[in-house]
Amino acid sequence: MTVVRRIRPDEGATLRDVRLAALADAPSAFGSTYARESVQTAEDWAERARAGSAGSERATFFAVGNDGIVGLVGGYRPEPSSSRVELVSMWTHPAARRRGVGRLLVDAVLDWARTCGARAVELWVTRGNVGAEDLYRAMGFVDAGDRQPLPSDPSKEEVRMRVDL
């Protein structure tokens, strides 16, 4: 069975391992890069874990299966107390895909956003990432119309998706 739970404040090293695995596995899915994040210090990761572990500005969630962590997602408010939440860092371990982990992770961010009083959740998805686009559509997201170059590879394009809560 897989459960999704919020990160704990002392899980910086675990967050590093999972996030770097995601960046190595699916570089074209993310705006950031393995090269940029692999040089972050233990204190940087500790601070990221602490920031995502509590409160209504930022949240990090792990999907945990029988053999350990199988997924990651984050949410944050781009401006303090914004009514909008940005969903980021979505990743399911390749061995755990197509078993509903992605749905659980998106649900965790939607629930957190609702609890915090947000009115919408938005995200960027790389054009052509059909699995992710299908997942988000299945969870109620629609094309919000905006486009931008993928920051980690400007030859690719990102599509903005949004769901109203």
Ligand X SMILES: CC(C)(COP(=O)(O)OP(=O)(O)OC[C@H]1O[C@@H](n2cnc3c(N)ncnc32)[C@H](O)[C@@H]1OP(=O)(O)O)[C@@H](O)C(=O)NCCC(=O)NCCS
Residue 48: closest CA among 58, 34, 35: 58
State the distance between the two ends of the chain, measured CA to CA, in whole angstroms: 28
Distance of closest approach, residue 126 Cβ to ligand X, in angstroms: 7
- Pick the closer one to ligand X by CB: 97 or 156: 97
Q: In the block, which residue shows the tokens 């054009």? A: 127
Pick left, alpha or beta for residue 141 (phi over 0 → left; psi -120 to 50 → alpha; otherwise beta).
beta
Distance of closest approach, residue 10 Cβ to ligand X, in angstroms: 25
- Pick the closer one to ligand X by CB: 67 or 98: 98
Q: How many helices (H) and strands (E) does the chain have?
A: 5, 7
What is the C-alpha to C-alpha distance for residues 70 and 102, in angstroms, rounded to an integer?
10
Residues that bind ligand X (CB under 6 A): 26, 29, 90-92, 97-103, 125, 129-132, 134-135, 138
Backbone angles phi, psi at 152, to 5 degrees: -80, -10
- Pick the closer one to ligand X by CB: 138 or 142: 138
- Pick the closer one to ligand X by CB: 23 or 49: 23
- Pick the closer one to ligand X by CB: 103 or 156: 103
Torsional sign, CA 127, 130, 136, 139: positive
Distance of closest approach, residue 155 Cβ to ligand X, in angstroms: 17
Distance of closest approach, residue 26 Cβ to ligand X, in angstroms: 4
Distance of closest approach, residue 38 Cβ to ligand X, in angstroms: 17
